[in-house]
Amino acid sequence: MVHDLSILLACQLAGELLVFLAGLPVPGPVLGFLLLFLLCLARGRVPAGLETTAPVLLSHLSLLFVPAGVGVMLHLGRIAEEWPAILAALLLSTWLAVAVTGLLFARLAAATGPAHGRGDAPRASDEMP
């Protein structure tokens, strides 16, 4: 498990370094996760150790939100000053996500035809006697 955690942390460190050196506007851990994904694609599979380590980390995911909560408390004054912009961004992004999801679902349902995507349950009259 230590080896697998080292792989995860090395990918995160590589992501942080790339962001720092290239000045990219992306969080380092996100870029590190992309690197991990590309490494798994290159290998053609996920290493067995990562398959067992990931669920352990996910089972304690709530602990990983503690630093984010501390960060929010640290910047509470700024949030109080800029709450209208934050609220507008949250509402707009939520609305946009729902709209795009709905449009995508409608297109996929139309593309799969009438037998798929409509969710029609078989009727009693459709069954053979």
Does the pLDDT at position 117 exceed 80? no
pLDDT tens figures, 32-87: 999 999 999 998 888 888 888 888 888 888 887 888 888 888 888 888 999 999 99
- Which residues are CB-contacts of 35 (< 8 A; sequence separation ≥ 6)? 11, 14, 15
Mean pLDDT of 13-25: 92
Chain centre to alpha carbon of residue 35: 15
The distance of Cα 123 from the centroid of its chain, to the nearest Å, equals 39
